[in-house]
Amino acid sequence: MDIARTPDMADAAPEPHDPVTIRREDYQPFGWLVPEVALDFDLGLETTRVTARLTLARNAKAPRAEAIRLNGDELEPVSVKRDGEVVNDWHRDGADLIVPLSGDAHALEIVTEVAPAKNTKLMGLYASSGMLCTQCEAEGFRRITFFPDRPDVLSTYRVRMSGDKATFPVLLSNGNPEASGEGDNGTHWAEWHDPWPKPSYLFALVAGDLVANSSSFTTMSGREVALNIYVREGDLPRTGHAMDSLKASMRWDEETFGREYDLDVFNIVAVSDFNMGAMENKGLNVFNTKYVLADPETATDADFDAVAGVIAHEYFHNWSGNRVTCRDWFQLSLKEGFTVLRDQLFSQYMGSDAVKRIEDVRVLRAAQFPEDSGPLAHPIRPDSYREISNFYTATVYNKGAEVIRMMRTMAGEEAFRKGSDLYFDRHDGEAATCEDFVRAMEDGAGLDLKQFRLWYSQAGTPKVRAQLTHEGNTATLHLSQIVPPTPGQPEKQPMPIPLKVALFDRASGERGEEHLLVLDKEEASFAFAGFAALPALSINRGFSAPVSIEREVAREELVFLAAHDDDPFARYEAMQDLIVGHLVDAIEGRLDEAQRAAGRADIAGALGAVLRDAALDDLMRGELLVLPGEGYLAEQQTVADPGKIHAERRALRAYLGAQLASDFTALYERAAKVPFALDAEASGARKIKTQALVYLAASDPARAAELAAQQYDMADNMTDRQGALMVLAGLDSPERTHKLLDFYNRYQGNALVIDKWFALQAGSLHPNVLEHVRALAKHPDFTLSNPNRVRSLYMAMAVNPQAFHAADGAGYAMIADLILALDPINPQTAARFVPPLGRWRRIEPLRAEQMRAQLERIAAAGNLSRDTQEQVARSLG
């Protein structure tokens, strides 16, 4: 997703090999308003002719312009008319079209032709399995027609499409359908009108042979909305969950945020070739099939949750992104951070509040914390960029959501709702900024957010040091904070950090009152009376702030909190801290054999208590059984040795599997008796079954292989079958080969399930995993042209520490080879494989040199895309 380089932000549009830096401080309003756009498409897979008619008026808020710059990308104008007359005084500036305009109002008509079948970038108008579809965020619209392709140019759109009826029986665009009819020679046409002004990045068109799961929804004001989920005919039975999720999200948004849908129709289309997860185009959401299609035979419980979350996310954008959009791409977190928070809250409401919170924090720590501590660190509102697609990051999305969640925590739910209502009321129909949102929260929720704005401008994960002391009957909590240096920001100011804390009496296990403390200085102390002895500290409860907590805490206290803390996240965190502390000490050689044995025994005791705790639901139990990831462990060290991390973590899992073998076996046998259902109890049972198999596989591979093979054969759902195959894929067992072959033969032709087949092998613990990846890359079903398939094989390998960090550097070379091969085909997808290599500064010297050498090899290649070039340059520093 690319950003507009207009004359208001840069003097010229450079060629791809000469990227310029776009700066937020250089923003100026565009010189022309474009209140109305009419588009006429003569559709064809090989060639589509586009006629764009633009109504123009001078923008009184911008400096006077004697010409208009229309952005283009791989376009040539067929004809240009100004006020009905053919003109030839236009000229090109790089990829852009410059048309002189002397009056205060004009009409432009521009004809272009595009080749959808040749569009491997999957941006603009492209072909996917015989259908036509669009992806325009951030700069895709300029690949369809010449246009001021920037988010602050808002227009109403009328769209007419015509094409062969047999090839394109369904014709869809934004807004409401207005007319349709038959044409000559087997063609037909349809007209759509979107009455709500929108930026060009929200334009959408789909034409193809599709069928719909159709239903309706009645809004809180009584309007009936037609709902359609369009898919290929064979996929129709797998759309029920998506439709249920859509209706639930519409109702929840009305009840929780007061937001009602505003068109007569809401359409979703599932596309198999898609760079991202989904796109919120007004009234016509285009989705990766991965986030629409689900049934128990082909989708896991995690897939069902992901479908519901992404369906909700894109629907929620109708207000937080569409009705109120971004002034410029620096404000991306205005819509994405807010909407991620909204979809997280929806998922918490629909499922387990505690488990969803833990899952979201795990994602943040796995993806965003490393980003914050590496060469690609940036604030949630960046100050500059070269290629905007590189800023669709965990920082903008996930940390952006956490920043807004902190406002909600400090304000309370009722006041936060007042702030969000004020934001929507003030800026409906506008292109707004992050500052507009913060100001609405101040005025509506009654918050003072002057210092809080630092969360928008400073990169890095704050580190909070906590120490609890005791004297008399008073416990005192001493807090300090530091925001580490990041590229371009060597020094940081203290930020307001809301921390929920509670103190537990160690003797009775009783908890004192929960407090919300705001640490807004470098250091602060808080006193709590009524404790005769030093209590146990539960801090950052519910993960109230996206920070790293550093404190010296005895193992006994962590064991106590893991058993007694009534905050689910804090209990999970105590278990994680207990394991992380032990593993980091072991990895860095600080433990003798007696200390190692004592540490392992404490962990086994805590984990055993989790296994035997009858009060725990199995969904939460499953979370508490998950060991900290190798990437998160690496983040706890200044310089990490991936080989040592992998060995110590694997050894601990084997120890726990052996020590608690009878408990894991009993847990597995109990869970295996729970019949399949889509409720929390059955989903939790499936979750702990897989976790039990993982531990047993580490300690007794033969027994685990037997159980996993049996589970695979008896499975009546994908969660159980995939869980069993995941365990088998990491074992050197005859059953591994048999079940992988059976899985492929069983699901051959189902692209999403075959993606799982690739990913399970590339992400496995098998010692020959890299050899398997090389072989799979030559498989007839593998292709570089489909992003889902590329990610299923190579991203699964890139996040598999054993494979990616192979001691001989073969994993690094494999990813570099992929980037060089993929970049000419799909730069956006290729660039997303660079960050794993960019972590070289945090890795031990031998591997670091290997990683850096691969980045240098990529940098030395000619004709890199802007996407990849920027990522590589920033990673090298």
Question: For residue 147, what is the DSSP state?
Answer: B
CB atoms within 10 A of CB 154: 18
Residue 727 is encoded by which pair of tokens?
Answer: 């365990």
Question: For residue 535, what is the DSSP state?
Answer: P
Contact between 91 and 98 (Cβ < 8 Å): yes
| Nearest partner of 280 among 335, 334, 340, 202, judged by Cα | 202
Catalytic residues: 314
Helix (H) or strand (E) holding 226: strand 224-231
CB atoms within 10 A of CB 300: 21
CA–CA dist 486, 378 (Å, integer): 8
CA–CA dist 655, 113 (Å, integer): 64
CA–CA dist 209, 43 (Å, integer): 14
| Nearest partner of 94 among 4, 185, 169, 203, judged by Cα | 4
To which residue do tokens 């805490």 refer? 553
To which residue do tokens 């000419």 refer? 824
* Rounded to 5°, angle at Cα 50 from 47 and 54: 165
CB atoms within 10 A of CB 836: 21
- Sign, CA dihedral 442-444-447-448, equals positive
Contact between 718 and 303 (Cβ < 8 Å): yes
CB atoms within 10 A of CB 389: 26
491 — phi, psi (to 5°)?
Answer: -125, 140
CA–CA dist 803, 811 (Å, integer): 6
Cα–Cα distance list, 698 to 598, 625, 805 (Å) = 20, 14, 20
CA–CA dist 768, 750 (Å, integer): 27
What SS3 state is found at 562? helix
